[in-house]
């Protein structure tokens, strides 16, 4: 499994479209096996979901994301979790894997 996490200045981005990098966290047998920090192409509406899917992610965890981006992820075969919080991508993924990831309302309202 490969999980994408939108980051801004080294922490989880609360608004998906404002991220300046993505942490791609590789997981095997519920253990983190690697983390890659990749810079996405310049943001254009609808571009990030296809790019994230192209990089092999099957799940994206975000603080907030608009409904259009969520739909585009699903169309690209990527599951979406919104309302996450935290800074460290490894901790976010560990919490997701063990079922303790706290999610609140979607931080994005469009």
Q: pTM for this one? A: 0.92
Do 4 and 24 contact (CB within 8 A), yes or no? yes
pLDDT digits (tens, 9 = 90+) for 82-105: 999 888 999 999 999 999 998 987
> What pLDDT, in 10s, does the model give residues 7-50?
999 899 988 888 999 999 999 999 999 999 999 998 788 899 99
CA 5 to chain centre: 3
Residues 6+ apart with CB under 8 A from 105: 83
Phi, psi of 108 (to 5 degrees): -115, 135
Q: What is the pLDDT of residue 108?
A: 63
Its CATH architecture, for the domain 2-97, is 2-Layer Sandwich (3.30)
């Amino acid at each position: 499994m490969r999980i994408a996490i939108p980051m801004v200045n080294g922490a989880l981005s609360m608004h998906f479209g404002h991220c300046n990098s993505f942490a791609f966290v590789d997981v095997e047998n519920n253990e983190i096996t690697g983390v890659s920090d990749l810079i996405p192409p310049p943001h254009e509406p609808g571009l990030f979901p296809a790019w994230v899917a192209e990089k092999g992610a099957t799940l994206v965890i975000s603080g907030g994301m608009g409904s259009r981006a969520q739909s585009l992820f699903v169309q690209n075969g990527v599951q979406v979790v919104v309302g996450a919080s935290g800074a460290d991508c490894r901790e976010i993924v560990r919490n997701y894997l063990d079922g303790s990831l706290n999610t609140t309302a979607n931080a994005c309202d469009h």
